[in-house]
């Protein structure tokens, strides 16, 4: 895979053994919650063309920027706590772009407060998905994505579910999807196999058997479009 293009996915089950492809970095695989570059590549192949404007409101380590530039797409990456100089500091709940001006949006958002993304006090990743406030804040992001997208254009949202001993299973993906349906039409739902997560160890597998719970094995990728009307 090192010197080849990623596989062009044709099913709704994507499983990538590594975060990166090719002989140059796309984002930083040491970044907490880094997005697999294969996902961005596949989405841009399907839903954009050269010269289109791609936006990532929660850009993390810059994976979307690196892949988009390599594919000759214009790209803007925002983050509440920028990881590098070409990421613009901004809160995803208020994106500084005009209405109906963007060709594609990708977002890999927090799905609870389980990962420390930054020290910024307004980081949505500091809010637990056990609180309804978490989903209210994500809906504000969804409304901004809807506003900036051109009619008929696509967005893709990557998110996982959550389990805690105290509260049990929380269907974060389903709850977010209900919010997104207020604004977007569904193109398809894709499952992304999770790899290299910290819970994928013999200790955690033994705990899952012993205490009768499931470790998270996949994330949702919601591919949706802004209605033309």
Q: What is the pLDDT of residues 68-97, one digit of tens each?
A: 999 999 999 999 999 999 999 999 999 999
For residues 224 and 3, the model is more confident at 224
Rounded to an integer, what distance in angstroms lies between the CA atom of residue 83 and that of residue 19?
A: 18
Query: Taking 80 as the threshold, does the pLDDT of residue 226 lie above it?
Result: yes
Residues in the chain: 229
Confidence band (pLDDT; 50, 70, 90) for 177?
very high
Q: Hey, what domains does the chain have and what are their CATH numbers?
A: 13-225 (3.40.50.150)
Mean pLDDT of 34-48: 96
Check residue 115 and give its pLDDT: 78
- Mean pLDDT value across the chain: 92
137 Cβ partners below 8 Å, 6+ apart? Answer: 93, 124, 127
pTM of the model: 0.93
Q: How do residues 108-159 score in pLDDT, each as one tens digit?
A: 999 898 878 888 889 999 999 999 999 999 999 999 999 999 999 999 999 9
Check residue 166 and give its pLDDT: 78
Q: Which of 111, 106, 71 is closest to 224 using CA atoms?
A: 106
Rounded to an integer, what distance in angstroms lies between the CA atom of residue 192 and that of residue 220?
A: 6
Query: Taking 90 as the threshold, does the pLDDT of residue 4 lie above it?
Result: no
Rounded to an integer, what distance in angstroms lies between the CA atom of residue 118 and that of residue 73?
A: 28
36 Cβ partners below 8 Å, 6+ apart? Answer: 16, 18, 19, 20, 63, 192
Rounded to an integer, what distance in angstroms lies between the CA atom of residue 177 and that of residue 203?
A: 32
């Amino acid at each position: 895979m090192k010197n080849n293009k990623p596989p062009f996915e044709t099913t709704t089950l994507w499983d990538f053994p590594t975060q990166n492809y090719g002989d140059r970095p796309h984002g930083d695989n040491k970044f907490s919650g880094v997005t697999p570059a294969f996902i961005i590549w596949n989405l841009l192949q399907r839903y954009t063309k050269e010269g289109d404007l791609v936006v990532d409101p929660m850009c993390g380590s810059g994976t979307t920027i690196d892949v988009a530039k390599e594919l000759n797409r214009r790209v803007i990456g925002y983050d509440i706590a920028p990881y590098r100089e070409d990421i613009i500091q901004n809160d995803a709940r208020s994106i500084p772009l005009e209405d109906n001006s963007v060709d594609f949006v990708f977002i890999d958002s927090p799905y609870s407060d389980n990962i420390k993304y930054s020290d910024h006090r307004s980081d949505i990743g500091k809010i637990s998905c056990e609180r309804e406030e978490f989903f209210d804040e994500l809906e504000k992001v969804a409304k901004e994505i809807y506003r900036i997208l051109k009619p008929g254009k696509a967005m893709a949202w990557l998110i996982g579910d959550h389990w805690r001993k105290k509260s049990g299973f929380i269907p974060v993906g389903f709850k977010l999807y209900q919010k997104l349906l207020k604004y977007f039409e569904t193109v398809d739902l894709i499952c992304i196999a999770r790899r290299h997560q910290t819970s994928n160890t013999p200790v955690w597998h033994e705990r899952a058997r012993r205490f009768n719970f499931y470790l998270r094995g996949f994330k949702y990728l919601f591919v949706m479009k802004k209605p033309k009307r």
